[in-house]
Amino acid sequence: MSQSNAYTVISAQNDHECTTVRAHPRNETFHIVDYADEDARERVADLPVGSVVRMELSRAGRRSNVWCAESVKPAQTDGGERQ
């Protein structure tokens, strides 16, 4: 299963390379823990909290709410700050 939508970054990428996003404008939360390639990982790492980004996500293994970012395309930002 993969889904491509707009997501709002609610938690910047941490030391374990996990980023939390919320489906925009819905309130579904996704924990991104894997990346299709280094470019996707770097794009997500550069996103400040509050950014809105278009991503294609696919499940990362069998765990319930962990996802792999297949593609990452910035959509807009509200001037959020990296935390």
pLDDT of 3 over the 60 cut? no
Residue type (1 letter), 72? V
pLDDT, tens digit (0-9, with 9 covering 90-100), for 18-62: 999 999 767 899 999 999 999 999 999 999 999 999 999 999 977
Q: For residue 83, what pLDDT is reported?
A: 41
pLDDT of 4 over the 60 cut? no
Instruction: Report whether 3 contacts 71 (CB < 8 A).
Output: no
pTM of the model: 0.80
Q: Kindly state the helix (H) or strand (E) to which residue 41 belongs, with its residue range.
A: helix 38-45
Q: Read off φ and ψ for residue 60, nearest 5 degrees.
A: -105, 90
